[in-house]
Structure 1
């Protein structure tokens, strides 16, 4: 969905790339991925990085949250965008992914983004 593309792009230092081809939109902060979405309109899901303990808990709580599709299933969740999750819950998951990845950037990358 376009609103999630737009929301991801509001994050400081974010770029939209297509390293896996035009069918997958990849959102990066600095040089690292924090979100992936199919380029289909409307997109049906978004894959997001997640703390491993939180990822397991979320999968137990919500049918819309599954282990990351074609990603490290310990660190990534794929979230269905057409389900019972509210927009606020999806925003919180995107924020968590962004913050987790931003924390892992080098000091130089963080400084460049903070400008």
Structure 2
């Protein structure tokens, strides 16, 4: 799975998790690929997906951004409370 991620958090996460690598073949600075492995937890993937969503929404025109963000909060899906800008922490 390849997700959008800001360059600095992406590099830090890649140093901590061998399963996280630059997103090939797309823009490696702004993409992060998750490979299967023991260190890949549901919480890690959920955090990365939420952060990726927020980054994509921020890149939309304002009118579409508000409509998408409002819709996602109204229908977050099972077990979700809507998007979050939280990037998994790197210890």
CA offset digits 1:3-27 (Å, max 9, x no partner): xxxxxxxxxxxxxxxxxxxxxxxxx
**4+ residue segments displaced more than 6 Å:** none
**Is 1:85 matched up with 2:48?**
no
Higher strand share: 1
Matched positions, count: 70
The TM-score with structure 2 as length reference comes to 0.71
Q: Which runs of 5+ in 1 are unaligned?
A: 1-45
Which runs of structure 2 are paired with 1:54-73 in the superposition (5 Å)?
Answer: 54-73=9-28
Which runs of structure 2 are paired with 1:40-55 in the superposition (5 Å)?
Answer: 46-55=1-10
Which structure carries more relative contact order (alpha carbon 8 Å, separation 6+)? 2
The TM-score with structure 1 as length reference comes to 0.57
CA distance in 2, matches of 1:93, 1:71: 17
Higher helix share: 2
CA RMSD in angstroms, aligned pairs only:
1.2
